[in-house]
Copies of this chain bind each other. A is one copy, B any other.
């Protein structure tokens, strides 16, 4: 049976009218490396986002979940290593909610490591000619929240899924009025996410590769 991968993208938030995450997800092929891609737009809202993903997991029983989010200011596609049990909003979410130093789940782990082969993803994205790096923080906003929530669902309810998150930079259009800020095109986002998903499929059942991608600080 075909592998199923649920890929989500957030809608626009803050001052931006567009979010490269959902735009790139919409443009992914229906099938990547033989796996069926299920696409899902999720709202940039702390609580609702998790409910929407939960419903999709319950309905679709995907093998993998890959959440995609915008990381303004980053230079590269960055698969995330870890999600932490904390909401700490720099700005309010799209529901007007701005938690400060809130624990997400009192009975959840302090953090969860991803099950995705992030180093293999980084390698494949680079081989596609797109900059990529392992990230060790998904921030403290809705992106970290959804990554944590999906891991929590895995911990408590769906032990068979493997899940993770990848951040992508601003689009060129978003940095026209943000001098000195890096960007990446939508076409390159699609190419890079496709390569990352191909790496997930290729490494299925084998764990990650052991390459030097650590960070001093």
A200 at the interface (CB under 8 A from B): no
Q: Specify which chain B residues have a CB less than 8 angstroms from the CB of A184 in the assembled complex.
A: 172, 183, 185
Q: Are A140 and B214 in contact (CB under 8 A)?
A: yes
A3 at the interface (CB under 8 A from B): no
Name the residue of chain B whose CB is nearest to the CB of A207.
Answer: B101
Which stretch (A29-37, A49-57, A65-73, A156-164) binds chain B?
A: A65-73
Q: Are A216 and B101 in contact (CB under 8 A)?
A: no
* Interface SS majority for chain A: loop
Q: Are A217 and B143 in contact (CB under 8 A)?
A: yes
Cross-chain contact of A176 among B88, B130, B135, B181 (Cβ < 8 A): B130
A74 at the interface (CB under 8 A from B): yes
CA distance A107 to B130 in the complex (A): 38
A6 at the interface (CB under 8 A from B): no
- Residue of A88, A112, A132, A178 with most chain B CB atoms under a 10 A cut-off: A88
Q: Specify which chain B residues have a CB less than 8 angstroms from the CB of A213 in the assembled complex.
A: 88, 90
CA distance A160 to B171 in the complex (A): 40
CA distance A54 to B187 in the complex (A): 38
Q: Are B179 and A133 in contact (CB under 8 A)?
A: yes
A167 at the interface (CB under 8 A from B): yes
Q: Specify which chain B residues have a CB less than 8 angstroms from the CB of A64 in the assembled complex.
A: none
- CB-defined A-B contacts under 8 Å, sample of 28: A69-B217, A72-B217, A74-B217, A75-B183, A82-B110, A86-B113, A88-B213, A88-B214, A88-B215, A90-B214, A90-B215, A90-B216, A100-B210, A126-B176, A129-B172, A131-B178, A132-B176, A139-B214, A139-B215, A139-B216, A141-B216, A143-B216, A144-B217, A172-B184, A182-B182, A184-B185, A185-B185, A185-B187
Using CB atoms and an 8 Å cutoff, list the residues of chain A in contact with chain B: 14, 69-76, 81-82, 84, 86, 88-91, 98, 100-101, 109-113, 126, 129-133, 135-141, 143-144, 167, 171-173, 175-176, 178-185, 187-188, 208, 210-217
